[in-house]
Amino acid sequence: MTITLRPVRPEDEPFLLRVYASTRLEELAPLGWSEADQGAFLRQQGEAQHGHYRTYYADADYSVIELEGQPVGRLYVARWPSEIRIVDIALLPQYRNAGIGTRLIGDLLAEGASAGLPVTIHVESFNPAQHLYARLGFELAEDKGVYWLMRWSAEVEGHA
């Protein structure tokens, strides 16, 4: 399984919107909205999220995750002097639970261990991915209501 990262390009916008929408469809299903209304809402929300990321994580690495050369998700990472922040990681549904995210996060944890830096991520408190992060050694660092800040540290994992 060849997993690679490449920088996001302008022509990736429709794909990235599809990735974003795939992470939100379950939440919208109970609302009974038409496909057109769901599409309009998801487009607006996806654009808002993208704008937020570009404003608050301007220097982050924005990457498309490719599996065997095909785009399957996105990984956005900010590297600061005091930490490595996973801004966002998301895969299309058919590629979830296949070890792709675990491998990419493992690479970031190895980078953090090598640099002596913690790795952090914000996750919604109801997002099932929090269980993956906990399994990988992330701990709750701050409860921000809907969002949790989770933190992995080499010292906690015994890599220091």
| CATH number for position 116 | 3.40.630.30
Residue 117, SS3 per DSSP: coil
pLDDT given at position 29: 79
Read off the pLDDT of residues 88-132 as tens digits, 9 standing for 90 and up: 999 999 999 999 999 999 999 999 999 999 999 999 888 888 999
Work out the burial of residue 91: count CB atoms within 10 Å of its CB; fewer than 13 is exposed, 13-18 middle, 19 or more buried: buried
Kindly give, in sequence order, each residue whose CB lies less than 8 Å from that of residue 156, ignoring residues fewer than 6 positions away: 137, 139
Q: Cα separation of 51 and 46, whole Å?
A: 9
CA nearest to 122, candidates 61, 80, 59, 78:
78
pLDDT tens track for 13-50:
999 999 999 988 777 878 888 889 888 999 999 999 99
Residues 84/78, Cβ–Cβ less than 8 Å: yes
Residue 76: both structure tokens together:
């956005």
Q: How far is CA 19 from the centre of its chain?
A: 11
Domain count for the chain: 1
d(CA 154, CA 152): 7
DSSP single-letter state for residue 102: H
Q: What are phi and psi of 110, to 5 degrees?
A: -65, -40
Q: What is the pTM of this model?
A: 0.91
What's the average model confidence in pLDDT over 1-15? 95
Place of tokens 């992995």: 152
SS3 151: strand
Q: Which domain holds residue 22?
A: 3-157
Tokens of 131: 């269980």
